[in-house]
Amino acid sequence: MFEFEILQELEPNDEIVEIIKDYEYTVKNGKIKHLKATNLQFIEPTEYLITYPYTLTIFEYKVNEISNKNFYVKEHNQKYNLKEIKQILIKFKI
């Protein structure tokens, strides 16, 4: 049986929450987990699910990438950085 230990609870990004506050949305906090008896770590992303007026699923990963694109939009099947995500959300707001 696999046993996981939660190393860190990942909080939602305040800037994104501020932008989507006018929409109907849910946020699921991410987690960094450690598989006991190994040195493996697993990252569950923070999930922002916008349900109205548009359906949009944004995953925020806490990783150190060279490209610095921590966000993934499921519907677009593409990665974005914070500035690009803000532009997308503001565009939907209009």
Task: Tell me how many domains the chain contains.
Answer: 1
1: confidence class by pLDDT, cuts 50, 70, 90: confident
pLDDT in tens, 5-17: 999 999 999 999 9
CB atoms within 10 A of CB 86: 17
SS3 for the chain is CCCEEEEEEECCCHHHHHHHCCCEEEEECEEEEEECCCCCEEEECEEEEEEECCCEEEEECCCCCCCCCCEEECCCCEEECHHHHHHHHHHHHC
> 22 pLDDT exceeds 90?
no
Range of the domain at 58: 4-93
94: confidence class by pLDDT, cuts 50, 70, 90: low
